[in-house]
Amino acid sequence: MTPPRIVVFDLDGTLVDTAPDLINALNFVLGREGLPPLPLAAARNMIGAGARKLIERGLEVEDRVVSADALDRLMRDFIDYYAEHIADESRPFDGLEAALDELDASGYRLAVCTNKLEWLSKLLLDRLGMTRRFAAICGADTFGVAKPDPAILHQTIARAGGHAPASVMVGDSGTDIGAARRAGIPVVGVSFGYTDVPIAELKPDRLIGHMSDLPDAVESLLNSRQ
């Protein structure tokens, strides 16, 4: 039996524009520390390496350093607040639903590989009515490793019932490109996500500016591997 072809997606900045709710949660914990809120436009590229790194980056803007215990407390407060507001403003990127429909109709199996916690990822996708689309939803805590470690990508593909030679990664940042490269998997970069380094400079195998271009990009990459 031929294994299914798998398309593995990053979540924040790739599938869903989560920046408004993430930065609102960040500003909630910064405010508790007596720090001013960060503008969304300036802070959105801090997203992508998980909640702890987002908080650290937010503190760095004001040259604030906190102890490990204090960071743990901020992390708990962040997650509690974020979970309550996870889909207040977060929405799928334009054209996503149609692109997923097209991939599904073409026989692809879909999965999520994110540095977000698994339960938060599932909560978000549940709220947006998208959970049913994915054969696997894996976060930084699912296997105990996070992107760019290739193990999380390999294990996500395995959980979705696929194997690496018939898989493609889709992401918006260096952690996604790095995980795919180390896993030996081709990668589609999206130009509308969150990254402090322009995605074109990271040289994904394909670069798209709208989700309507995704099915053709995936098809061309997998066809080139046959």
CATH of region 19-84, choose from 3.30.70.2190, 3.30.420.40, 1.10.10.10, 1.10.150.240 = 1.10.150.240
The catalytic site residues sit at: 10
Q: Do 19-84 and 6-17+91-223 fall under one CATH topology?
A: no
Q: Which CATH superfamily is domain 6-17+91-223 in?
A: HAD superfamily/HAD-like (3.40.50.1000)
pLDDT in tens, 120-164: 999 999 999 999 999 999 999 999 999 999 999 999 999 999 999
pLDDT in tens, 7-66: 999 999 999 999 999 999 999 999 999 999 999 998 998 987 778 899 999 999 988 988
Q: How far is CA 21 from CA 17, 84, 161, 174, 189, in A?
A: 9, 10, 32, 22, 23
Domain ranges of the chain: 6-17+91-223, 19-84
pTM (two decimals): 0.94
